[in-house]
Amino acid sequence: MPTFDFSLLLAGPYHAMLWAGLRLSLTLLAVTLPLALLLGLLVAVLRLAPLAPLRWTGFLFVESQRNIPLLAHMLFWYFGAPELLPESAREWLYQHNIEAIAAVVSLSLYAGAFMAEDIRSGIWSVPTVQLEAARALGLGFVAAMRLVVLPQAVRTSVPPLVSQTLNLWKDTSIATVIGTAELMYQAAKVESATFKSFEAFTFATVSYLGISLAITALAAWYQHRYPPRSA
């Protein structure tokens, strides 16, 4: 009976490859999560803006991102978008890890569209009279949203945003298709070099599960620390 080769994970070049892949996956999450949140917040406000062109801009962004598979986004930003740039810009990208840059752009835009809808739902959960009262006191739309509505909406939006964070963490694995040396890419390389499929992909599986459980635990702590306020 075959046995699990722990030496593959504890030392040597393959150990370094797997851990480097895990670090890059975590880096992708750490970079894309705040970008997606900021983008989602901006788009959510656009979709509720009093001006129709702004609302349509937010609507078109959300629908164009949500209705195209993430894989297609990845391939577009890696193969298609650079062709629209000047040659000097393309050369700079190819010299500065275009795979990771394309992954960050596609993941941020894709996750930002979903987060925008979650934040918009949170904004809708705030009674309209609060926005109207803020406007009656002389605040503009942006100021009323920033000072009155958004602080309440963010708390309501935390549970769905946690789900989107989990999806974003798992979606980093799709970056392997464009050659980003994240966890799945490195696990596949280790498997090809050693034929230790069980060990390599067990490491990847346990890593994804462990980080996901950590995110869930952090969200549970937040919900316990800051429970939703009753209406």
**pLDDT tens digit sequence for 116-138:** 999 888 888 787 777 778 777 77
Q: Where are the alpha helices (DSSP H) in the chain?
A: 7-10, 12-47, 52-66, 70-75, 87-95, 98-125, 128-136, 141-144, 150-171, 183-194, 197-225
Enumerate domains of the chain plus CATH numbers: 30-158 (1.10.3720.10)
Residue 70 has pLDDT above 90, yes or no: yes
Q: What are the structure tokens assigned to 6, written together?
A: 């722990």
Whole-number percent of the chain with pLDDT over 90: 52
Nearest to 119 by CA among 42, 219, 229, 217: 42
Residue 158: predicted pLDDT:
84
Residue 199 has pLDDT above 90, yes or no: no
The tens digit of pLDDT for each residue in 83-102 reads 988 999 989 998 888 999 99
Residue 151: predicted pLDDT:
79
Q: What are the structure tokens assigned to 77, written together?
A: 């930003």
Mean of the per-residue pLDDT values of the chain: 88
213-221's contacts with Cβ under 8 Å and 24+ in sequence apart are 215/162, 215/165, 215/166, 215/169, 216/162, 216/166, 219/158, 219/159, 219/162
Residue 20: predicted pLDDT:
94
Q: How far is 111 from 74, CA to CA, in rounded Å?
A: 13
Contact by Cβ (8 Å): 18, 187:
yes
Residue 58: predicted pLDDT:
92
The residue-averaged pLDDT of 60-82 equals 93
Contact by Cβ (8 Å): 162, 216:
yes
pLDDT level of residue 231 (50, 70, 90 thresholds) = very low
Please report, for residues 10, 52, 133, 144, 227, the alpha-carbon distance to residue 139 in angstroms, rounded to integers and kept in the order given. Answer: 59, 20, 9, 6, 28
The residue-averaged pLDDT of 199-225 equals 90
